Amino acid sequence: MIISFSRFAFSLALSLVVLALIAQPFSSLLQPIVASAQVHDQDFTIVVLSDTQNYSQSYPDIFKAQTQWIVRNREALNIVYVVHSGDIVNTASSTRQWENASAAMAILEDPLTTGLADGIPYGILPGNHDFPTTNYNAYFGVSRFSGRSYYGGHYGSDNDNNYGLFNAGGMDFIVVNVQYRPTGDILAWADALLDAHRDRRAIVVSHEILDADASFTFLGQAFYRTLKDNPNLFLMLCGHVHTEAWRMDAFGSYVIYTLLADYQDEPNGGNGWLRILEFSPRHNEIRVKTYSPTLDRYQTDADSQFTLPYRMRMTFYLPALLSRPGINSYVEANDQGIWS
Ligand SMILES: [Zn+2]
């Protein structure tokens, strides 16, 4: 009895030694993963502006109040990127409207107030009201962005189609800003960009993609058809249609969300409403909120405030190494494959 117990104790001790030896490479593997998981835990925010055309024409102070609010809240909300989905002005030939838009967006670029040498990263693109894009390129051309570290580049000789790069929560992102009514060549350029940057999570912004009933417009269908095979694409943003709507498309093992927001029919040219997209890697979700700095109010109805599940957290690698297959659903659901 005693002998067999000591035998048991011996084999137990031996097993522990062997286990410790096996675990050794794992523990050294896990350290950087745990460290990066902490970086991933940091929430961050993308702010979306759309259809500012009435502000540029008649309510420039509301436009400025939006960008001033973004600067004031940059640190508190960890705002890492600002999107403008087009119709910057109402009348493309009016330099007065472009001056107003330029002054409002310049607030994001101030190194002193933002505390950032390149200002708060932002992307912009022409909507239908911004065509022809002569003035768009005079005010928001390549030269305005080319010195900024987040600016990725542009298609052709002007800034009608461009892209930005940023890092947040330990993740790399690309935002491709596509003009209203892109040609097939431009969509192919966007498609190639998503593929070339497949290690980055991708957002595509264009003026018109969704209709009021959340169906893809004819144009939106071309976007979805051309870009859906990029597993890093998770979000498309648009305006143009005077309402809010969103949809989710599952393609293979991943999901693409498309969000429409355009408040231009509200009083005062849109009442300052903007979109706040709060990314919470800890909860693997994007919280969409609608807020007006001039009213200091949130819209909380179902199409203005909602939460989208989106996988960001990397800690699933830890259970993936140690747990039985099938236990960790994160592994099966996959993380869009962009870590591979
Ligand atoms: Zn429009």
Average pLDDT over residues 235-264: 94
Average pLDDT over residues 275-301: 97
Strands 171-178 and 297-299: unpaired
For ligand 1, the distance from its centroid to the CA atom of residue 103, given in whole angstroms, is: 21
Look up residue 138 and give its two tokens: 């005079």
For ligand 1, the distance from its centroid to the CA atom of residue 241, given in whole angstroms, is: 7
**For the chain, what is the mean pLDDT?**
86
For ligand 1, the distance from its centroid to the CA atom of residue 282, given in whole angstroms, is: 36
Is residue 166 within 8 A of residue 80, CB to CB? The reply is: yes
For ligand 1, the distance from its centroid to the CA atom of residue 142, given in whole angstroms, is: 22
Burial 6-22 (b: 16+ CB within 10 A, else e): eeeeeeeeeeeeeeeee
Q: Please give all residues whose CB falls under 5 A of ion ligand 1, grouped by chain where several chains appear.
A: 87, 127-128, 240
For ligand 1, the distance from its centroid to the CA atom of residue 219, given in whole angstroms, is: 13
Look up residue 16 and give its two tokens: 């522990």
Tell whether the model's pLDDT for residue 17 goes beyond 50.
no
Report DSSP letters for 78-144, one per residue.
TEEEEEE-S---S-TT-HHHHHHHHHHHHGGG-HHHH--TT-S-EE----GGG-STHHHHHHHSHHH
pLDDT value for 38: 53
For ligand 1, the distance from its centroid to the CA atom of residue 55, given in whole angstroms, is: 14
For ligand 1, the distance from its centroid to the CA atom of residue 85, given in whole angstroms, is: 9
For ligand 1, the distance from its centroid to the CA atom of residue 207, given in whole angstroms, is: 7
Between 33 and 333, the higher pLDDT residue: 33
Domains and CATH numbers, the chain: 40-317 (3.60.21.10)
Any idea which of 109-113, 162-166, 252-256, 328-332 has the lowest mean pLDDT?
A: 328-332
Per-residue pLDDT tens over the stretch 51-71 = 999 999 999 999 999 999 999
pLDDT value for 13: 53
Q: Kindly report the length of the chain.
A: 340
Tell whether the model's pLDDT for residue 99 goes beyond 80.
yes
pLDDT value for 84: 98
For ligand 1, the distance from its centroid to the CA atom of residue 126, given in whole angstroms, is: 9
For ligand 1, the distance from its centroid to the CA atom of residue 238, given in whole angstroms, is: 10
Tell whether the model's pLDDT for residue 181 goes beyond 70.
yes
Any idea which of 25-29, 232-236, 269-273 has the lowest mean pLDDT?
A: 25-29
Percent of the chain with pLDDT over 70: 80
Tell whether the model's pLDDT for residue 5 goes beyond 80.
no
Per-residue pLDDT tens over the stretch 205-222 = 999 999 999 999 999 999
For ligand 1, the distance from its centroid to the CA atom of residue 217, given in whole angstroms, is: 13
Per-residue pLDDT tens over the stretch 120-154 = 999 999 999 999 999 999 999 999 999 999 999 99
Average pLDDT over residues 266-276: 98
Percent of the chain with pLDDT over 90: 78
